[in-house]
C-alpha cells in the first residue's frame, strides 16, 4: 500500500472522488497481500496474507458488479450497506475503496509482484486463478 485516505460521508453523498485526509505513514496497516480464492463449497473468499504467503484471514464475498477494470463486492461479515471497490489502473497499480453510509476509506495500492501459487492449500480451499496483478 502506497497511501491511505479516510473521510466521513454525509447523508446522500454522491461525490466519491474526494479522498479526504491522507493518513501519515505508519498510521495504517502494515503491508499485506489481498487475493481471492474459491472454497470447495463454491464460495469466493477474499484472503489476506503476509509477505511470506501465510494466510492471516479470509472472508466470503458476494460480487455485486464487474466491469473491465473494476470489481465491486460485499464481504459477508460487513454491514449490508458496505461495499468494497477495486479498480485496476493501466499501469497495473490499483485503488481499493471501502464505503459505508458514514465513511469512505481509500487505499492506493502498489503493483503486486507475481507470486508462485501456494503448493499447499488448507482443506476445502483452492487458489483462484491469478491475472498477474
Q: Which residues pair with 58 in a beta bridge?
A: 47
The Cα diameter of the chain in Å comes to 47
**8 Å CB contact between 50 and 66:** no
How much is the average pLDDT of 77-95?
A: 90
Domain segments of the chain as ranges:
39-100
The Cα–Cα gap between 11 and 81 comes to 13
Positive/negative CA dihedral, 87, 28, 78, 111 = positive
The pLDDT tens digits for 90-133 are 888 889 999 998 999 998 887 766 554 444 444 444 444 433 33
The Cα–Cα gap between 18 and 104 comes to 10
- The backbone torsions φ and ψ at residue 129, rounded to the nearest 5 degrees and listed phi first, read -60, 140
The pLDDT tens digits for 27-66 are 766 666 778 899 889 999 999 887 777 888 899 999 999 9
The Cα–Cα gap between 109 and 14 comes to 24
**pTM value?**
0.73
Amino acid at each position: 500500500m502506497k497511501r491511505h485516505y479516510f473521510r466521513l460521508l454525509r447523508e446522500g453523498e454522491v461525490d466519491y472522488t474526494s479522498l479526504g485526509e491522507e493518513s501519515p505513514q505508519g498510521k495504517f496497516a502494515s503491508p499485506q497481500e489481498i487475493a481471492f480464492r474459491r472454497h470447495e463449497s463454491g464460495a469466493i473468499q477474499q484472503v489476506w496474507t503476509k509477505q511470506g504467503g501465510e494466510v492471516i484471514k479470509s472472508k466470503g464475498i458476494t460480487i455485486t458488479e464487474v466491469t473491465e477494470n473494476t470489481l465491486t463486492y460485499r464481504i459477508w461479515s460487513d454491514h449490508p450497506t458496505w461495499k468494497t471497490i477495486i479498480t485496476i489502473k493501466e499501469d497495473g497499480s490499483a485503488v481499493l475503496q471501502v464505503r459505508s453510509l458514514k465513511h469512505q476509506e481509500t487505499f492506493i495500492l502498489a503493483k503486486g509482484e507475481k507470486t508462485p501459487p501456494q503448493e499447499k492449500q488448507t482443506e476445502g480451499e483452492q487458489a483462484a486463478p491469478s491475472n498477474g496483478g
